[in-house]
Structure 1
Amino acid sequence: MDFDELIARLDLSTKIRLLTGADMWSLPPLPEIGLDRLVMSDGPIGVRGEQWSSADPSIALPSPTALAATWDVDLVRRAGALLAQEARRKGVHVLLAPTINLHRSPLGGRHFECFSEDPYLTGEIGAAYVEGVQEGGVATTPKHFVANDFETERFTADVQVGEKALREAYLRPFERVVRAGAWGLMTAYNSVNGTTMTEHSELVNGVLKGEWEFDGFVVSDWTALRTTEAAAMGGTDVAMPGPSGPWGEKLEAAVREGRVPESVVDDRVRRILRLARRVGALRGAGPHSAPPPARERVDGVALAREVATRGFTLLTNDGILPFRQVRTVAVIGAAAAEARVMGGGSAQVFPDRIVSPLQGLGERAEVRYALGTDPRIRLSPIPGPATATFLDAEGAALSEQPLAAAEARWIGQLPPDVDGDRLTAVRLRTTYTPDVSGGHQLSVAGVGAFTVAVNGETVLDELLEADGDDPAAAFLSPPERRVGVAMTAGEPYEVVVTHPAGAFGGMAFVSFTVGHANPSPGEEELLAEAARVAAECDVAVVVAATTPEVESEGFDRTDLRLPGRQDELIRAVAAANPRTVVVVNAGSPVEMPWTGEVAAVLLTWFPGQEAGAALADVLFGDAEPGGRLPTTWPKRLEDAPVVDVTPVDGVLAYEEGVSIGYRAWERSGRAPAFWFGHGLGYTTWSYDSIAAEGTTVTVAVTNTGDRPGREVVQVYVAGALAGFDVVEAAPGETVLTTIFLPERAFQVWDGGWRTVEGEYAVEAGPSVGDLRLSATVKV
């Protein structure tokens, strides 16, 4: 039975009901036509599923910036296959990823979730991600369409951008993933040139569905769709979440009164049915109605470790790496003991294990740990098992849910055995046994009323109110209250937190963390201790990190400095031991004023759950750091040519046009700390020759070092990235790579795509700042 026949069997109200979420994460089933419930889930580094809880763990891959840093489309495609496997395991049909907005300004708070400043690299990595996931029978929704490259006032901001920049930069990655066959796409919160994206018929109906012939479904970002007729005519197909929203009865009335053609509704239903057939949720719909045959299982832990090493980017190295004959390692920093493995917001999942740098390095050498300084604004969750009990009005338990740590989070869906109508409170219970006596700190972070009791005694009873009006920020970066509690080493302390909670409109919003910190001798003593420990060891490894208050969904950054006193810590450690390696655990650029004072700088991005294991592999030379920068790294924020992320009177003007990233740096005449494409391995390479004929470029490179290695050969046309390839060679071996240049490399937007005839310089090298070979092609 074809789609038109199925649609003809549905009345208008049923068709319209299908266009709005049944709840936070799904579309309703229609058994009468064989349509199963369609489930969506956040990504992009893992598949959360409907339960945003440690009770339902997920594999956590490295951040998208780390994926892009591999410059390896085959590896990214394998990561996509793993995500599809995870989605099927959790009953998910649609992965709400990847994010293919651009790194326009280094202040973008969510850049860790995007791939690159370069539209070509973003498109190629994004296409590989889409293909890997969808080959596993799971849909993707590349997002956020379009020009959602900032977080400040993201719900209401109007991006003013010229058509040339829109086409050549911001739309280009979306065009590439559509050509790769994406089954879905998500519209953004923001407006573009005066029209909000959920209503932007020119871009959604005209460009996406018309010009690009996109046959997938278009879903709104959550709560982004706010009108009835304008959104109905604007091209967005599905309003999430539900069941309430601006469609439903209002849209039905608009259709019956002739203000919205019923054919518009039918087209949306057809796209949803096509999606369902593709993901195996439409029974009896022909040969594409079932998931693909089962594939060989992907080892998620092993792949997470491999992707991390391949994304690690070695920025400087005086020869200290890889470690040789190292017996003792000083491991220093808060993030060394508690790695920041992912960014905050919708990208967050709960893995069932996290390997910290301290743990990973401790398996390879004798390690001595020092905190040095603690930049974290919020206390970390109390580790170890906890239990969340859902209570009714009489205090009776509706359900008990095990947790891996003292962090309770259910946004959208409650556990299946909890009756939301009866729920009145959630009680989290855990036991903490300190290893040191003194004045400990406990905290609760969340929004609402909280009561904290320790061994039956109430120590905190307070109402915490959110700052600002961004609901995402309220849950993802909530206020925190702390209380001091005297504890004795070795004695168990039962900590119980009670929080009023309920379900509203069928959706739950439970999100809070119970944190802990040991007694502190003070920052000066911590810094001095770190220097002493470093001086006693063969080498020192300082892990410096951003915090969830710096890189997260819901807000942009205010500067590029490492939070707290980490710069001071690095300098103190390097002064005590010149054999100091700094590991930068950040999803996007930070200022590094101490680069010339340390032996090596290794960028791990947000490295995923296998962080420490991958770090040990790279530092000790079992694996080569394979990463190359997907975004230009400034020395100082004030040097960056494009910075502004704050709308003025609701408008954010992209006045720089197409000049973002390395092209803007080149025009500015200023040199960054590290150019786009930069990254060192553990061997050296010569670039021997280049030959260009038409749109085919062949480059010869030789491994001139003493160990096998991997190089990312980059090809630029007229100063813009136009192709790349990852090559491998043994010592002394020469390899040839052939790169096919896309037609778009020779085109500009001028009311339409126009090929500019003439001679072009084609250059190749290991980064945009180090182009060693040049040839000329005529178009």
Structure 2
Amino acid sequence: MNELDAMARLTAGADMHTTHSDPDRLVRSLRLIDGPMGVTGELLDERDVSLLAPSGIALAATWNRETVRAVGELLGEQAAARDVDVLLGPNLNLSRSPAGGRNFEHFGEDPYLAGTLGAAWITGVQSKGVAACAKHLVCNDTEAGRHGYDVQVDEQTLHEVYLAPFAAAARAGVWAMMAAYNKVNGRHCAEHSKLLTRILRDRWDWDGVVMSDWFGTHSTVGSLAAGLDLEMPGPARHLGPAAAAAVRAGDASATALKRSVDRLALLSHRTSGRTSRERPDAAARRLLHEAAADSFVLLKNDGAVLPLPGDTSVAVIGPNAADPAYQGGTFARIALSPEARPPLAALRETLGPRVVAHEPGAPSDPRVPSLLPLAPRATDSPDQPGFTVTYHRVDSDGAVTQPLATDTRATGTLVWFTELPGIGTLADLPAGSGGLVRVSCLLTPETDGTYDFHFAGTGDVRLSIDGREVGRGGSRALPADVMGALLRGDVTRVSVELAAGRQVRVDFEMHFDGGGRAQGIQFGGRPAVPSDLAERAVRAARAADTAIVFAGVTPDSSLESQDRDALALPTAQTDLIEHVCAANPRTVVVVNAPFAVDMPWADRAAAVLLSWFPGQEYGPALADVLTGALEPGGRLPITLAREDRDHAVTSTAPSADGRLAYSEGVLVGYRHFDTLRRTPRFCFGHGLGYADVRWRAAHLHADPTGRRLAHVGVTLGCEPGQGGKEVVQVYVAPLTETGEPEPGRPEQQLAGFAAVHIAPGEERRVDIPLDIRDLSVWDTRAGGWRPRTGRWEIRLARSSRDVFHRFRVYVDQEGRLRTGPTG
């Protein structure tokens, strides 16, 4: 292979998860695995168990750099132990709209918070010799139409809001970034030379690798010229050999190709020193336990109903008590340890007989309910729980082979990328042929009645009971966005009458065509929902001292390629909360959801706690917080509105011509609420704890070293009794010469914060540095940042709406901070 071909070969992946090697250029084959909640398995196999950390939004709710860095270190350790070179995370897009399908991965709605905590996660991962890959550059903030929409955004908004977290990642030294699927101002991000070269490489002086999102390239010349280094996955489509051909034809630059190879060699070198030492499992679980507790946001606590008194009886109510959502439903989902304990089990272990009742109260509402609670058994080994899966080829005449491979699985979601066991590589199947996957199990119903079976797939799916076909669904059509289609395909539901104690055989068969990138099937079922769930729950609530309602969503509420169409909890859950609050004035509502949800019932609950998608240690961590063994340490990284219409962005749908206008400009999240004087239900930065922390003297002083603009802070004192956590927040507000908010600018924006743990009786001084960048704006005409001269107000606050002290200052023409009569 000549030099040009050898270099070009490195610019495209070898397969779904690895790159090519070239010993002559000191480039190793790199293994790239999805994150960011953990280290996923390459095959999305439920048997490939990994640690499951709190989601990005949960980590953002900690407002704690140390916690987030520690979680990053833990995931870096596990990645290194599994020979992973690049962990695909963090997701540094922003929660521009509460409807965003992947908001659970984001670090909230504020660019400063997202960038600061994203950088902490990156630093933790990379301290173990594993590259973090910040994604998705840029403006892939919602999912609907992500492959085609064209974000229209002005330069000031782009730099001050959406690029800011990526700039923080670059300053933190992230080793890789991923270009988004979408376009920005007319160009695909993977072909956007302004983003990938003029901003990343020239302005930010960043030397890392830029890779495409999976199947996210569109051309050869445009990608190379823009500065894309690596096309994923393999085999090559637009780079690799096509890049060499473009250079030979004079259409692409050999210099640009050489630069990409040099950056890939640098990434290979940086990840060559990773260590495979992992901490003991107990230590890892303890860290995830504490991180989850640090993320829980106590929104209200009337009458100090929490922590639970030592002698109180408790009724545990709601579908998410026994069947919680630990994570989202994307391809980055983690195979959860079977030892993970849901809240119900953890509370029973902690409280013992004080848990006097458990009632679901309302049905869980997953897109495809799990069959596992019905105790399915494999057909080829009836003593083994789970499903028998057989793989067959189908020739052009429709003849089906005998099983070419057999497996036993324990999940209702099966996905295969590029090849299937026994069948082989999808792309290599002869024209007109295809495959068949049969999933079979034995069920013995416990009760007579109607059972609902649900299924979807990327082929034609048939459901048979005891050999009799009872339903068809699925679709052989594979759209360009196959990744999203696997998750959001239309679900068919079939109702079947079954008799208690009578065993039946259930078969799901999927016929699919050859070619394509992937195939998948989802299947499940459950008994019909009883009609008296709510009544039983209300009776249990009345009989207990305290009722705890576990409401929330299912994992498939958060998907790739799909945004939410409603912000409300399911109606049955909303009604349940209202009825239980009316039955018991000491009702605690725990909301297991990773995004803004409507809470019209919040005023009637005694306490409300938001628990996000909190990872594998959810149950034990929540039990500790509810009983007071741990502090609910979280503060909101998003704004919770009183009405849906109060949000800056309610629709995520592109226009008919594919454009998605960011017309709200810099007024995202709380900036929108504050500037337009809209009152949220719970504001950005809000959260309560159990400790009685008093704010005392505020201070502001110049940095004597000259390295920072100033330091601002407060002295905290914790009253005797219980220690806890406080988050000191700093907001900066531009003012006119008459002291009014500056027109056209946000009312205020976050410029600093510090999470502080304080012991009973302790007094602590908290200092938060400010830089001139914190008091600067993007100058579109000059194409850079400039200090915004004039009057400012620096606000020390517990939240965006709870300000403790205000300092009036003045920034002069030299970018110096002045106080006193001119401030």
TM-score, length-scaled by structure 2: 0.87
Tell whether the 8 Å contact from 2:135 to 2:177 is kept in structure 1 after alignment: yes
- Residue in structure 2 matched with residue 754 of structure 1 by the alignment: 786
2-structure distance, mates of 1:35, 1:399: 36
Cα deviation code 1:594-653 (max 9, x no counterpart): 111111100000111222222211111111110000111111111123334222222122
- Residue in structure 1 matched with residue 730 of structure 2 by the alignment: 715
Corresponding residue to 1:376 among 354, 359, 365: 365
Going from structure 1 to structure 2, the CA distance change for 1:416 and 1:22 (only over 3 Å counts) comes to farther
Tell whether the 8 Å contact from 2:642 to 2:681 is kept in structure 1 after alignment: yes
2-structure distance, mates of 1:216, 1:462: 45
1-structure distance, mates of 2:474, 2:274: 48
2-structure distance, mates of 1:256, 1:738: 59
Please identify, of 751-760 and 414-423, the stretch whose mean Cα deviation from structure 2 is larger.
414-423
Cα deviation code 1:693-750 (max 9, x no counterpart): 1211231011236311111111122232111111122223221111111331121111
Q: Which amino acid aligns with 2:350?
A: R
Tell whether the 8 Å contact from 2:297 to 2:610 is kept in structure 1 after alignment: yes
The structural deviation recorded for 1:297 is: 4.7
Cα deviation code 1:164-188 (max 9, x no counterpart): 1111111111111111010000111
Corresponding residue to 2:675 among 660, 667, 675: 667
Corresponding residue to 2:497 among 483, 486, 491: 486
The structural deviation recorded for 1:531 is: 1.2
Tell whether the 8 Å contact from 2:88 to 2:133 is kept in structure 1 after alignment: yes
The structural deviation recorded for 1:398 is: 4.2
Cα deviation code 1:415-453 (max 9, x no counterpart): 699676688333333344443332222222323122334
Aligned runs of 1:299-698 on 2, under 5 Å? Answer: 299-318=283-302, 319-353=304-338, 354-365=340-351, 366-374=355-363, 376-383=365-372, 385-393=385-393, 395-412=401-418, 424-464=435-475, 470-490=481-501, 492-500=503-511, 504=515, 507=517, 509-522=518-531, 525-548=532-555, 550-648=557-655, 649-694=657-702, 695-698=710-713
The structural deviation recorded for 1:17 is: 1.9
Q: Secondary structure at the match of 1:642?
A: coil
2-structure distance, mates of 1:322, 1:477: 40
1-structure distance, mates of 2:211, 2:129: 18
Tell whether the 8 Å contact from 1:359 to 1:612 is kept in structure 2 after alignment: yes
1-structure distance, mates of 2:547, 2:450: 30
The structural deviation recorded for 1:265 is: 0.9
2-structure distance, mates of 1:190, 1:406: 31
Q: Which amino acid aligns with 2:416?
A: W
The structural deviation recorded for 1:23 is: 1.7
Aligned runs of 1:28-43 on 2, under 5 Å? Answer: 28-30=20-22, 35-43=27-35
1-structure distance, mates of 2:27, 2:408: 33
Aligned runs of 1:14-163 on 2, under 5 Å? Answer: 14-30=6-22, 35-163=27-155
Q: Which amino acid aligns with 1:711?
A: E
Of all paired residues, the percent bearing the same amino acid is: 39
- Residue in structure 2 matched with residue 4 of structure 1 by the alignment: none
The structural deviation recorded for 1:329 is: 2.4
1-structure distance, mates of 2:40, 2:275: 22
Going from structure 1 to structure 2, the CA distance change for 1:81 and 1:432 (only over 3 Å counts) comes to farther
The structural deviation recorded for 1:563 is: 2.4
Going from structure 1 to structure 2, the CA distance change for 1:337 and 1:46 (only over 3 Å counts) comes to same
Tell whether the 8 Å contact from 1:113 to 1:347 is kept in structure 2 after alignment: no
The structural deviation recorded for 1:491 is: 5.3
Going from structure 1 to structure 2, the CA distance change for 1:266 and 1:746 (only over 3 Å counts) comes to same
Going from structure 1 to structure 2, the CA distance change for 1:772 and 1:313 (only over 3 Å counts) comes to same
Q: Which amino acid aligns with 1:682?
A: Y
Structure 1 unaligned spans of 5+ = 1-8, 281-289
Tell whether the 8 Å contact from 1:546 to 1:562 is kept in structure 2 after alignment: yes
Please identify, of 459-468 and 606-615, the stretch whose mean Cα deviation from structure 2 is larger.
459-468
- Residue in structure 2 matched with residue 770 of structure 1 by the alignment: 802
Tell whether the 8 Å contact from 2:26 to 2:265 is kept in structure 1 after alignment: no
The structural deviation recorded for 1:408 is: 1.8
The structural deviation recorded for 1:292 is: 4.2
1:270 matches 2:262: yes
Q: Secondary structure at the match of 2:638?
A: coil
1-structure distance, mates of 2:477, 2:363: 25
Q: Secondary structure at the match of 2:350?
A: coil
2-structure distance, mates of 1:216, 1:379: 41
1:701 matches 2:707: no
The structural deviation recorded for 1:251 is: 2.5
Q: Secondary structure at the match of 1:230?
A: helix
Q: Which amino acid aligns with 1:346?
A: F
1:734 matches 2:734: no
Going from structure 1 to structure 2, the CA distance change for 1:192 and 1:568 (only over 3 Å counts) comes to same
* CA RMSD, 1 decimal: 2.4
- Residue in structure 2 matched with residue 5 of structure 1 by the alignment: none
- Residue in structure 1 matched with residue 814 of structure 2 by the alignment: none
1-structure distance, mates of 2:149, 2:785: 29
The structural deviation recorded for 1:50 is: 1.3
Q: Secondary structure at the match of 1:775?
A: strand
The structural deviation recorded for 1:336 is: 1.9
1-structure distance, mates of 2:22, 2:468: 52
Tell whether the 8 Å contact from 1:539 to 1:577 is kept in structure 2 after alignment: yes
1-structure distance, mates of 2:764, 2:418: 52
Corresponding residue to 2:774 among 732, 735, 745: 745
Tell whether the 8 Å contact from 2:458 to 2:519 is kept in structure 1 after alignment: no
1-structure distance, mates of 2:22, 2:225: 24
Tell whether the 8 Å contact from 2:149 to 2:659 is kept in structure 1 after alignment: yes
- Residue in structure 1 matched with residue 379 of structure 2 by the alignment: none
Tell whether the 8 Å contact from 2:180 to 2:190 is kept in structure 1 after alignment: yes
Tell whether the 8 Å contact from 1:560 to 1:636 is kept in structure 2 after alignment: no
1-structure distance, mates of 2:406, 2:24: 36
Going from structure 1 to structure 2, the CA distance change for 1:336 and 1:212 (only over 3 Å counts) comes to same
Q: Which amino acid aligns with 1:316?
A: K
2-structure distance, mates of 1:218, 1:135: 20
Going from structure 1 to structure 2, the CA distance change for 1:462 and 1:589 (only over 3 Å counts) comes to closer
Q: Which amino acid aligns with 1:391?
A: Y
The structural deviation recorded for 1:403 is: 2.8
The structural deviation recorded for 1:528 is: 1.7
Please identify, of 619-628 and 35-44, the stretch whose mean Cα deviation from structure 2 is larger.
35-44
The structural deviation recorded for 1:584 is: 0.7
Q: Secondary structure at the match of 1:763?
A: strand
Cα deviation code 1:43-100 (max 9, x no counterpart): 1101113121102122111211000000111111111112112222333211111111
- Residue in structure 2 matched with residue 291 of structure 1 by the alignment: 274
Going from structure 1 to structure 2, the CA distance change for 1:331 and 1:199 (only over 3 Å counts) comes to same
1-structure distance, mates of 2:80, 2:321: 34
1-structure distance, mates of 2:76, 2:721: 39
Corresponding residue to 2:234 among 229, 232, 242: 242
The structural deviation recorded for 1:388 is: 5.0
1-structure distance, mates of 2:523, 2:474: 15
The structural deviation recorded for 1:552 is: 2.0
